[in-house]
Structure 1
């Protein structure tokens, strides 16, 4: 049974919902799953002024060394101008020791994100996460077209071959749709399945 970590940062709860769906999919494939979040790095005044969601059922990760305990790491962060949010980037910036020792080589990983609009940088944000993960030697699993929901054009849908996504709306009022959450579950399951094969 592979051990899977869903590691996320969420300002308004959209990525938190996606993280829970990713974890659900991984558990459905028989994995042991933890959900953790990275620390908030924005000043408290900014957090309050922007009305960030500050209550979460998931603990803050203890630090980069905690990543060594997992067979798969699935990373979720919202976009900030076409790249991953600085809170997630800051966490990986502290993980140089893991990079230097190759501690994460061969583990499985994936990425998921949220943007305000359909063209607000979903794919570039996924690439920014994936680029970091590749530097740490992780094996990437995306969201293949077995999740056919990402090809639907009858409504706004998230999803890209590079990872599960959702569209939050400029004011954050749009919540992840059933198709978006299905994509997250699908990707979580696929990553857990690949991790199980590699750890068998």
Structure 2
């Protein structure tokens, strides 16, 4: 069973969450986690001005995803930073190239799930995931979130991401905060949960 984790990460926060998602997938028997990045759309000089080159290089070993790989997966878990309450432009451009898959109904019935990051605690994490779901529904995905069975999203003793819609992390205004252990635990839970649901649908 192939679980595709497709993400974009500017400064490494979503990348770190994607790795935790993959760990969760790996806890399910016969489930293989496959990490893929969406293509970069920003030129090198812009990335340099953003201070994102080093973070991009640490992800260079992750292959860039092709749209055909979506059709070959049994489930797809998408990761995107928040951009004004929506997915980032790189992810939007990648999804806009999936019209051929839509025409074929190639993704109908597959499990789809989303995780995200934002700079601030109330920076649009939930709206990013919910608006992402619209694209998944048009493709016929069966949407899976992060149920309250993950008790970490009930915590009030620390600032933390995570909601019933999916795992998330708070990066800080300058990207200074990496995912907390609670947020990584949420990502692992989501990866395992998606793989378990996909396995049930296949069986």
TM-score, with structure 2 as normaliser: 0.96
Aligned Cα RMSD in Å?
0.8
Q: Residue deviations 1:136-176, cap 9 Å, x none? A: 11001100001111111111111010000000000100110
Q: Which runs of 5+ in 1 are unaligned?
A: none
Pairing 1:60–2:64 present: yes
Q: Residue deviations 1:119-145, cap 9 Å, x none? A: 000001111221111111100110000
Q: Counterpart of 2:13?
A: 14
Which residue of the other structure, out of 99, 120, 123, is the alignment partner of 2:123? Answer: 120
Which residue of the other structure, out of 57, 82, 85, is the alignment partner of 1:82? Answer: 85
Q: Counterpart of 1:184?
A: 187
Q: Counterpart of 1:173?
A: 176
Which residue of the other structure, out of 136, 140, 154, is the alignment partner of 1:137? Answer: 140
Contact 2:6–2:35 (8 Å) recurs in 1: yes
d(CA) in 2 for partners of 1:60 and 1:43? Answer: 16
**Greater mean deviation of Cα atoms: 49-58 or 64-73:** 49-58
d(CA) in 1 for partners of 2:180 and 2:134? Answer: 27
Q: Which runs of 5+ in 2 are unaligned?
A: none
* Number of equivalences: 198
Q: Counterpart of 1:39?
A: 39
Contact 2:12–2:56 (8 Å) recurs in 1: no
Instruction: Name the SS for the 2:56 alignment partner.
Output: coil
d(CA) in 2 for partners of 1:171 and 1:67? Answer: 33
TM-score, with structure 1 as normaliser: 0.97
d(CA) in 1 for partners of 2:170 and 2:49? Answer: 22
Instruction: Name the SS for the 1:74 alignment partner.
Output: strand
Once the 2 structures are TM-superposed, how far is the Cα of residue 43 of structure 1 from its aligned partner? 2.1
Q: Residue deviations 1:22-73, cap 9 Å, x none? A: 0110110121110000011012221110011221131111x21111111000
Contact 2:112–2:142 (8 Å) recurs in 1: yes
Q: Residue deviations 1:96-130, cap 9 Å, x none? A: 00011100000001000000011000001111221
